[in-house]
Chain A
């Protein structure tokens, strides 16, 4: 018996959301009286992998095959299934991100495991195996009871605080008998947005809507984002008008994000926009219309002209940073 966790990394570096995930898996393992095994696909150093022990992993199984350096749903799930079988896993945990969403459903189907996608709580074992998740685009939560022997969970990133403890994980290699068909999806090109904080991972987000009037005014949002170390986002009409690239568009038809801080500037707060940002911990709304619906979903509001307020906010952040 064991809890298996997919430990995503970028060239051996484990991001915060992976550490959060390992800690989450270890919490489940503890409540079930079992151990945690992290699965690392591709290259990483022993020291980096042993470090997952600080977040509760007892063991790391590394599938050291360089073909796993890019995401391949079939090969990744095969590796995870092999690890789950070797360890007699009762629970498999993956991140609710592009990787986890591609891999976890395959693993669940192969293991005949019930699945909770986008969990925001640890399983409640007093009532079976009940996990809370977002539904209706953040407008409600559902409690899902998983009744199969093996369970698969994808965890919504930024749900829990991460704390490093003591501990070191043992590292073992795992050989997986891949076939050619596992790699029949071929990667032709990768275009990473560089030099910015990727939106899906950002803890702080500055977002602009049609109230910004035009792309020529985005400089002040960029300055604010830069001062905060935040990512940029926008409403759909902004992307549709090509003021900003489409990958910045959030909402029902764009990305769904759950940052700690979402600053919405000149965005009315339509329900389809809120669908993508409802899960943000703190929402600040800057809008010249005191009746804008977004204020109802906001924690802090500033009524006034964005073009005047944003530079003042940037100055205030600068001042704050100089004193802290």
Chain B
């Protein structure tokens, strides 16, 4: 068996998303997400968990290289620089934009194919489109294993041990490299970039790569806001029988 631990090369997939407190609005007859006044941030799962765990693995001497990749136009650069301020050796921006997860995965796969990454980390989902699809697609395209919803990632020798969420509990798996893992809470503790990191990030390489020729397989044609709640019905604290009766006869949930 090939001993790869010291040479381990990690790719962290970073997406940029609207800040969680953003008020969501659409324009052009509900066909476009209105980005006016919206602050973009690193997708929290990518920032807090995948990236930090990758950095911990380099600090522990397990990994040699951490590359960051984002599929996005030039407007994604501030966010990828922010990610570099936390750590990582080099960032790659694939110069196209899409909200079709197939396109995103195919673009990352086209780049990663010749780079021989041992470990590809992504987040459990992007908090904007809530797909959770890119990681699994990427694994198929790169012919790698895939473990979703990791809560703990440990590397020993040429094997990774992953705790992950399953239906109604947790499972511990082991797997050989290369592997794609999607990360969630538990994998690492969020870090705050320090001044040294921010300075260093300015001079770290940010490579812009031309996109591969990939046709989208889906398009978002329009958006809709959920119907507004008609207003809360207040029930007196002394009348829980009424609440139970409303839940039965009106809401029909019990």
User: B-contacting residues of A (Cβ < 8 Å)?
Assistant: 70-71, 73-74, 77, 97-99, 101-110, 112-118, 127, 130, 132-148, 184-193, 198, 200-201, 203-204, 228, 246-247, 249, 252-254, 256, 260-261, 271-272, 275, 278, 281-282, 284-285, 295-305, 308-309, 312-313, 315-317, 319-320, 324
Contact = CB atoms under 8 A, between A and B. Distances in A.
What DSSP secondary structure best describes chain B's contact surface? mixed
Interface string B163-177: 001111111111110
B243 interface: yes
Contact of A300 (B131, B161, B184, B246): B246
Given A97-B167, A136-B24, A185-B175, 6 more contacts: A73-B136, A73-B147, A102-B147, A104-B136, A114-B100, A282-B247
A145 B221 contact: yes
B254 interface: yes
Contact of A295 (B102, B147, B232, B245): B232
B48 to A, nearest CB: 8
Contacts of B7: none
A189 B174 CA distance: 10
8 contacts: A73-B136, A113-B217, A188-B161, A198-B168, A272-B20, A275-B127, A299-B229, A316-B240
Interface of B: 18, 20-21, 24, 26, 44, 48, 100-102, 105, 127-141, 145-149, 161, 165-176, 179, 184-186, 216-226, 229, 232-238, 240-241, 243-248, 251, 253-254
- The residue in B127, B147, B168, B170 that gathers the most chain A C-beta atoms within 10 A of its C-beta is B168
B128 A106 contact: no
B145 A74 contact: yes
A301 B174 CA distance: 47
A301 B169 contact: no
Contacts of A189: 171-172
A109 B176 CA distance: 22
B137 A105 contact: yes
Given A106-B139, A299-B233, A301-B235, A284 B247 contact: yes
